[in-house]
Amino acid sequence: IFIFVIGVKIFPDKDRKIPFKRVLIAVGYAHAPGLIRFFAVTPELVLLIIFLTQFWIFASLIIATRHILNLKSNLKAFGIVFLSFLIISFLTISFVMTKINSLPISTNI
């Protein structure tokens, strides 16, 4: 969703209409290398497999974003994917911190 919003709505490259479904399909295929993580059964290989598959997913997201949005530069595609990653990371960390009651804010009124 964030790749679509950032890439199509905030930073449009052309006056082309890019359907949301097309972006979802590309993002889905880009996450396919994550299936390799099922083979990370030995403790020695878990960290290596997670790192390699995450790098592979990130690289394929950049390529898919560049292709789907018809961008001229890899840097702009990287920026869109990285900004989406930062937003998702922030929301995930905020949600987890809220659930374990360890946000650095005071709830006493």
Residue carrying structure tokens 């979802």: 24
Alpha carbon distance 21, 18 (integer Å): 9
Alpha carbon distance 12, 47 (integer Å): 37
pLDDT tens across 94-106, in order? 887 777 766 566 5
DSSP one-letter string for 44-100: HHHHHHHHHHHHHHHHHHHHHHHHHTT-S-HHHHHHHHHHHHHHHHHHHHHHHHHHT
pLDDT tens across 6-62, in order? 877 777 766 778 888 988 899 999 999 989 888 888 888 889 999 999 999 999 999
The answer to whether the CB of 19 falls within 8 A of the CB of 84 is no
